[in-house]
């Protein structure tokens, strides 16, 4: 998939499905995800313990084989945003966004002027070390980069219209685990207060002409959100898929060999 293709698909109204890489540092995980058929993946640099070099190799592999990668940063800080953008990430996810000012900082640090204030250094992995025409490349990068704000609190839901209204922000991405915890209904994804939050986020982004996304560990709560109109979604992660597959095989062998 070419750089910017994921964003074009979303703008065309397509629904895409990805997963999260949380632990596995070998870049070959990217090849595995592509063979499985995922449209993109998220590299979790918030909870995950990826060093810069490890993240760079994973992102480099993703660029090399054409599988879009979005990085979840640990916090809104210029160094973090700049490093992952320079590595060549297709986009960024800012966790626990509660105010529009946080979204504005994400744009400021990740978009080139005049939209933002991203530092200019063009002989880097994000250009594949090719000689580029500066202004043209910067405009294309601003257009192609996907910026998402993760909504994980009642405050984020309350301010969703202001957050998604920030120029340069493409999507609101719901984090059900922390959101349910912050509502006092941990793990109750079908609780009425959670369903109301899903609806509020979706209505706000649709009104703004933007995109909604969500991540669940299992398919059951995800399917209704996709059917409702959530476009950029994730299911499971590297660890859960490995463990689920291993458990099923082990259980099958043990069941088949019982005496």
Burial label, 13 (beta-carbon count in 10 A; 0-12, 13-18, 19+): exposed
Residue-averaged pLDDT of the chain: 96
Residues above pLDDT 70, as percent of the chain: 100
Residue 3 has pLDDT above 80, yes or no: no
Is the pLDDT confidence value at 129 over 70?
yes
Residue 251's SS3 state is helix
Helix (H, G, I), strand (E, B) or coil at 76: coil
What tens digit of pLDDT does each residue of 78-108 get? 999 999 999 999 999 999 999 999 999 999 9
pLDDT tens profile 24-51: 999 999 999 999 999 999 999 999 999 9
Sign of CA dihedral 81, 84, 88, 93: negative
- Side-chain-side CA neighbours of residue 168 (13 Å): 25
User: What range does the domain containing 48 cover?
Assistant: 5-256
pTM over 0.75: yes
The DSSP code sequence of 7-55 is: HHHHHTT--EEEEEE-S---THHHHHHHHHT-SEEEEETTTS---HHHH
Burial class (CB in 10 A: 0-12, 13-18, 19+), 191: middle
Question: Distances in Å between the alpha carbon of 87 and those of 46, 62, 127, 149, 190?
Answer: 17, 11, 9, 20, 38
Provide the CATH number for the domain around residue 184: 3.20.20.60
**Total domains in the fold of the chain:** 1
Instruction: Look at residue 71 and give its three-state secondary structure.
Output: strand
């Amino acid at each position: 998939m070419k750089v910017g293709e994921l964003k074009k698909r979303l703008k065309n109204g397509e629904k895409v499905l990805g997963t999260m890489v949380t632990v596995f540092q070998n870049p070959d995980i990217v090849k595995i995800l592509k063979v499985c058929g995922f449209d993109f993946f998220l590299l979790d640099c918030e909870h995950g313990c990826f060093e810069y070099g490890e993240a760079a190799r994973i992102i480099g592999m993703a660029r090399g084989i054409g599988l879009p990668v979005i990085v979840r940063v640990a916090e809104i800080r210029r160094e973090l945003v700049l490093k992952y953008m320079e590595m060549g990430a297709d986009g960024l996810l800012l966790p626990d966004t509660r105010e529009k000012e946080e979204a504005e900082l994400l744009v400021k640090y990740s978009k080139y002027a005049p939209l933002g204030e991203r530092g200019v250094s063009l002989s880097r992995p994000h250009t594949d070390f090719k000689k580029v025409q500066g202004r043209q490349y910067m405009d294309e990068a601003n257009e192609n980069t996907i910026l998402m704000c993760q909504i994980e609190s009642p405050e984020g839901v309350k301010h969703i219209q202001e957050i998604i209204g920030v120029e340069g922000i493409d999507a609101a991405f719901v984090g059900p685990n922390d959101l349910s915890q912050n509502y006092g209904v941990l793990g109750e994804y079908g609780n009425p207060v959670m369903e109301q939050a899903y609806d509020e986020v979706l209505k706000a982004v649709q009104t703004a002409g933007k995109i909604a996304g969500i991540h669940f560990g299992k398919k059951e709560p995800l399917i209704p959100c996709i059917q409702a109109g959530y476009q950029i979604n994730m299911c499971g992660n590297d660890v859960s898929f490995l463990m689920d597959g291993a458990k099923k095989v082990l259980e099958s062998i043990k069941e088949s060999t019982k005496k």
